[in-house]
């Protein structure tokens, strides 16, 4: 008998049929299914008192909403009446100012829509041939003639020497035959130039006089 009482019962599946093992403490359900079952019970318990409360308070809420709607309509009518009275009480002196403003705006719109188009006729200037001809003739007269290049010739025989001519100290150009001073009767005084050069290069040396005491 003791052996039969010590034997533990075998595992049992969840009563919801989810496939997991159940527990007799959780009404034969697994832990997940048991939690879902408790949440459903709590949600159902919360919804039922709200429904009863709403059912009991429905007539009073309807009457309160109707009263609020009536008060809102009365406020709207009062505001409309006050605005109409204010518009009636507007002074007459303000009306001409508004009329002037509207007239000014209309005149500006007319000016913008219908701009004045002034077309200026192009001025065509024709050149006069009588004026252009004298100017061209004057330009031709003012153009200076280019001087002809001077030909290098021998001062004695008038032979063309080009760049091979010889300049003498007398200031003339001569060929190879007349370049010497005795061939073209050169007036330059070579003796005087040589004497001046000697005097310059060899100054006179004079000893100082002895001063007697």
Positive or negative, the Cα torsion across 87, 90, 93, 97?
negative
Say whether 37 counts as a known binding-site residue. Answer: no
33 is in an annotated binding site: yes
CA–CA distance, 26 with 38 (Å, rounded to integer)? 10
Distance CA 149, CA 160 (A): 13
Q: Taking a C-beta distance cutoff of 8 angstroms, is the pair 22, 32 a contact?
A: no
Q: How far apart are CA 191 and CA 199, in angstroms?
A: 12
Question: Is 76 annotated as ligand-binding?
Answer: no
User: 23 — phi, psi (to 5°)?
Assistant: -135, 135
Annotated binding-site residue? 170 = yes
Q: Is 48 exposed, middle or buried (0-12, 13-18, 19+ CB in 10 A)?
A: exposed
* Cβ atoms < 10 Å from Cβ of 161: 20
Whole-angstrom distance, CA of residue 159 vs CA of residue 179 = 13
Binding positions for Zn(2+) are 14, 18, 30, 33, 154, 157, 168, 170, 175, 178, 184, 186
């Amino acid at each position: 008998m003791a052996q039969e009482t010590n034997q533990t019962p075998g595992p049992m599946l969840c009563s919801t049929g989810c496939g997991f093992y159940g527990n007799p403490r959780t009404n034969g359900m697994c832990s997940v299914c048991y939690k879902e079952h408790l949440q459903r019970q709590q949600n159902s318990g919360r919804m039922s008192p709200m429904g009863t409360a709403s059912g009991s308070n429905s007539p009073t809420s309807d009457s309160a909403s109707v009263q609020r709607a009536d008060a809102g309509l009365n406020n709207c009518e009062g505001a409309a009446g006050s605005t109409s009275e204010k518009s009636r009480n507007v002074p007459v002196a303000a009306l001409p100012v508004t009329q002037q403003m509207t007239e000014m705006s209309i005149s500006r719109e007319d000016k913008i829509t219908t701009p004045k188009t002034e077309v200026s006729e192009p001025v065509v200037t024709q050149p006069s041939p009588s004026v252009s001809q004298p100017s061209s003739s004057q330009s031709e007269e003012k153009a200076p003639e280019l001087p002809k290049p001077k030909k290098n010739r021998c001062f004695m025989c008038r032979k063309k020497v080009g760049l091979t001519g010889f300049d003498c100290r007398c200031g003339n150009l001569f060929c190879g035959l007349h370049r010497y001073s005795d061939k073209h009767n050169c007036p330059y005084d070579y003796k005087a130039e040589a004497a001046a050069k000697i005097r310059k290069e060899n100054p006179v040396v004079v000893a100082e006089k002895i001063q007697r005491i």
